[in-house]
Amino acid sequence: MKIIACGSVPTIIASNAYFTGRVTQNPIIETEAPARLRATSVSFEPGARTHWHTHPLGQTLYVVSGAGLVQSSGGPIREIRAGDTVWFEPGEKHWHGAGPKTAMTHIAMQEALNGSPVDWLEPVSDEQYGG
């Protein structure tokens, strides 16, 4: 058993190499092989979002507070709210983030394949974000 005490893991200011706008990350768990689970609480200020990306084994988002947006490549932009769960298939190109005027926090859960839980791609343009 391992207990990770509240406050023992520092908050991360997310890199603009993978996010647009102000985003903070609070790591929850990153397991070691043979386990593969990684989970992080991610908070987006209004207008902030991820870049396009994929996950080799898929990703689950659980919205904790606020309202945000998600989109899979080629699909419509969808609104998500506190209490919603979103599942992205392995390899599904997508982005997610806050709404234009609302903050949003979700727990992002994914598994790592060969040590990598995500493949980052290009930024989501303002035009794409605006629909």
- The residue ranges of every structural domain in the chain are 12-125
For residue 40, the model assigns a pLDDT of 97
- CATH homologous superfamily of 12-125 equals Jelly Rolls (2.60.120.10)
pLDDT in tens, 37-69: 999 999 999 999 999 999 999 999 999 999 999
Work out the average pLDDT over 82-101.
98
For residue 100, the model assigns a pLDDT of 97
Provide the percentage of residues in the chain whose pLDDT is more than 70.
100
Q: What is the 3-state secondary structure (H, E, C) of the chain?
A: CCCCCCCCCCCEECCCCCEECCEEEEEEEECCCCCCEEEEEEEECCCCEECCEECCCCEEEEEEEEEEEEEECCCCCEEEECCCEEEECCCCCEEEEECCCCCEEEEEEEECECCECCEECCCCCHHHHHC
Query: Rounded mean pLDDT of the chain?
Result: 96
